[in-house]
Amino acid sequence: MKKLYPLILLTGMAGGMLAQIPNPSFETWLDGDPEGWTTSNVAAPSVFQVSDAHEGSSAVRIDAFTASGLTFGGTVV
């Protein structure tokens, strides 16, 4: 069991690293998605372009939605 602790720790750290978007501005959008990024809009539209940007003229907004009593959020990778 003690051998699993490092694996659990590394998995948790990797999941935490995926939570931050390295680029705060999304200037170019194609077909509803930011250029160069993969989104979860295929399953359900939850990633949107907004003009309330920290830098530049566009930003991304990710909405949460509920399906079958479970809450899901969009993804941008």
The pLDDT tens digits for 33-49 are: 888 888 888 877 888 99
Reduced to 3 states, what is the DSSP secondary structure of residue 26? coil
Give the model confidence (pLDDT) of 1-45 as tens digits: 667 777 676 665 554 444 455 555 678 888 888 888 888 888 778
The SS3 of residue 71 is strand
SS3 22: coil
Question: In DSSP terms, which residues pair with 76 in a beta bridge?
Answer: 39
- Measured in whole angstroms, the distance separating CA 53 from the mean position of its chain's CA atoms is 16
CA distances from 15 to 11, 20, 55, 65, 77 (A): 6, 10, 26, 21, 13
pTM above 0.85, yes or no: no
